[in-house]
Amino acid sequence: MHIRLSDPIVGRIAVTDGISEEALLMLRDAGHEIELKHFETSELNEGILSNFDAVVVRSATMMTGDVIRASVSEEGGIKFIGRAGVGVDNIDVEVATELGVVVCNTPGSSTRSVVELTIGHLIASTRNIPRADRTLRNGEWAKATLKGTEIGGKRLGLIGFGKIARGVANIASSMGMEIHAYDPYVDADIIDSAVYTMHNDIDEIFRICTHISIHCNLSDETRHLVNSRRLSLMGGIGADGTECGNHLVSCARGGIIDETAAFDALHSGQLSSLALDVFETEPVDDCPLLHHENFHGTPHIAASTIEAQSRISREITVQLLEFFEGERPSSALN
């Protein structure tokens, strides 16, 4: 269903999780009124957003069905939800569509930044960079115990094969990795079968790959997609015959990896390293993974680069301007 857009209007826009000064200036120059404020869940459920025409969120604001319903009234309320980022799992798109609210995201703006952090985590894991730093700071010269492995000559399994995964595949392939991927929704026309091997069975990815990176959205279908059984399938021997262990990376969404299962796999040695930028509960409090020497993480910073944030802000601003001018934004999801 496509949402019918209105005639050009000047709007009140709530920005709940921040946006660049450049974007604010563009919107205000166009005559729009902006309120920069993060609202509590109770305020959202009570309909605070019904005082606005549009809202721009990142991952911290949950636009559930109840929140969206409370934000729309016969007198007005929000007509546009902009996700300054890629994933829209914090937005109930179905309810938004039912109520005539346009939902947009910024699908390409942070791709390069997420790709680079994913590769960074992968190399940090296999070369023991976090452990080496920690021991060095503790006054230890642990050179003899920090022998790593190369990623070249190993199989990299990608769960999901969208833009970010393909970016990771391009870099990893250039570094000598053999690329395998699973994505039941991918357009077959975009796959270069001479470079990448696609699989119809996700378990096969775990059986043949020693290095796995997660790139799918969080949904009922993908929650705990990476679990004890699948981790137990990993063999730990690289395509080049090296005993390289098993390595898992995710800069996608928390909840796709069962963190309890991953901790157990680290503890038993089945998993040699785990690197996460995303967690089942954010912000992280006292997650057991934080106490395991073969785990390292970052606080959901995959898109947190100067360049990506600038691109994201510009893209969402253009979409807002298009919407209030009565046009259909190019990245509208409904």
Q: Which ranges in 239-305 belong to alpha helices (H)?
A: 259-268
List C-alpha distances in Å: 165 to 89, 213, 235, 309: 18, 8, 23, 20
Degrees, nearest 5: CA angle 243-246-252: 150
Cα 319–chain centre separation: 21
Q: Are 271 and 236 in contact (CB under 8 A)?
A: no
Dist. CA 212–CA 158, nearest whole Å: 6
Q: Which ranges in the chain belong to alpha helices (H)?
A: 21-29, 41-45, 65-70, 93-98, 111-126, 129-137, 163-174, 202-208, 228-231, 259-268, 306-324
Using omega within 30 degrees of 0 as the cis cutoff, is the peptide bond preceding 283 cis? yes
Token pair of 272 as six digits: 């040699």
List C-alpha distances in Å: 164 to 155, 159, 224, 277, 313: 18, 11, 21, 14, 19
Selection from 101, 27, 24 nearest residue 64 by Cα: 101
Selection from 100, 26, 104, 91 nearest residue 60 by Cα: 91
Dist. CA 114–CA 111, nearest whole Å: 5
Residues annotated as part of the active site: 253, 282, 300
List C-alpha distances in Å: 3 to 161, 263, 279: 28, 45, 34
Whose tokens are 């120059």? That residue is 29
